[in-house]
Structure 1
Amino acid sequence: MKRPTATASILLLCCCTGCLSVCNNAYRTLIKEPKEFSWRKDRCESRTLYASWAAGAWAEQRSNGTPCQSADFALGFQDGFVEYCYAGGSGEPPPIPPRPYWNSLNRVAPLDKSAYEWFDGYRLGARVARTGGYRDQAVVPASASLCSKGGGIHNGEACPCSTGEPAYAPQPAPHAEPVPAPAPVSDGQAKPDDLMLPALTDPAHEAAGNGATAALYEAIMPAKTSPIGPPRPSASPVAAPQAVPSTAQRQAVNPRGAASAQATSPRFGNEFLR
């Protein structure tokens, strides 16, 4: 009784803490998705299928009159065909040949030409896989290249499996508003308009310009009118302040008064000195 209770408690705890989503993700990643598609298994099956295609293509090349140059050429043809069907690319061979061509015996003349024959066979195999449409059969179909009913789109018009309806309806071109043509540009110098003021830099039109400006100012500004209400009293003129005469001027005007003031002054008198 204790073990089933503990198991139920653990399961309940996992469900409450969010561990159930982790278990679902682990099951989908480790079990469900590899069971639906395994890239390791698909790689072996795909290369085996493409090798059978390469054998048929090589037999067709031989029947068309292609001479069998050597076994290295045939091996390169098969490798290039299979590799292009599986991985695509440009169809050019790798920088170096496979490992069997690395040995010292294959690097010495006249056996060193076997690697170049393998390169030539590789290019031919990739070209046959590209032009024969084998690469298109080796990729997963996409919605961009197939219509909804399973047929390919030819020139964007209609699917061969449909009843004639276009794969997508052509959209009309947007209506553009007409653009006015630009005004022609004269070769000569443009003349000023009669309504425009004359150029200030032209001394011949300077007087006419001043007269036109004055006439325009008189037309815009209103005429002077008398003020409304009783007239305001004019302010009386303010007298200018009189200058204060200096000591030398006062002595020159009244020398006796200055002498008596100096005698009786406690600052300059003899009584102050005594």
Structure 2
Amino acid sequence: MDHDEVIALFDTTMRREAVADAPGARVERARHVVRQVSAGPTASAWEGVLWSGLTEDTADAAIAAEVARFAALGREFEWKVYGHDRPLDLPERLRAAGFAPGEPETVMVAETAALATSVPPPEGVELRPVTDADGVGLLAEVHGEAFGGPLSEGLLRSLTARFREGSAAGRTAPGEATGQVVAVLAVAGGRPVSAARVDLMPGAPFAGLWGGGTVPDWRGRGVYRALVAYRAALAAGRGYRYVYADASGFSRPILARLGFHALAVTTPFVRAPVAR
């Protein structure tokens, strides 16, 4: 895999030409910035800057414009900075503008054709697709046990809405989300022990792998690997050349062993709402 070629493709298709990834959200394009905003203060979509093409001369003004844009909405937002974004001191400029950095993650990418996609789950484990709100509830339960905290209310609302709306074409307005989310549970003895999802955006070369988590007593048995293979097979069957995931320090070595390559390090910079 040619790293520079893939990162350029990712920047173009998944950042600069991004489409909204949640019901009611929309993508806005300014001169130097691409952002996503939600439908309102109680909506569930992620909000923030997806891509920026800045220089030392344009960065400060663009940052100020984004702060003003979201201040007018009265909302917190995130500027997702990739390690190769310019200018090189963009993180310092964001800190100076009141943004707080979060934990870095690594974008891990693999070609679907290079992954093992016929990996059965461990004995006694069945993979079940999530098809309704009850399934979303089970997914939330697994998340709580696997990650030690509840699924955010915003994400829970978003997933419930997406499964309720389905993936029917033509039911979203221009600029709104047009993709499909597919979630899957790993069930052992009637108990959900792991869960994950994949985002499939029409026309994009990359499918996103999200939310993979396994309860503590089932870790190290191959459940996560089976869920990766399941989702990669689904993406490959629908014509996606690549799958990617934002990996923590814990999941990065697992994905590397499965054939994923590190593409970029990302850091979320979050700006609290500006008091008005």
Decide: shared fold, TM above 0.5. no
TM-score, normalised by the number of residues in structure 1: 0.18
Q: Rg: which structure is higher?
A: 1
TM-score, normalised by the number of residues in structure 2: 0.18
The structure with the greater share of residues assigned to strand is 2
Q: Which has the higher contact order (CA 8 A, sep 6+)?
A: 2
The structure with the greater share of residues assigned to helix is 1
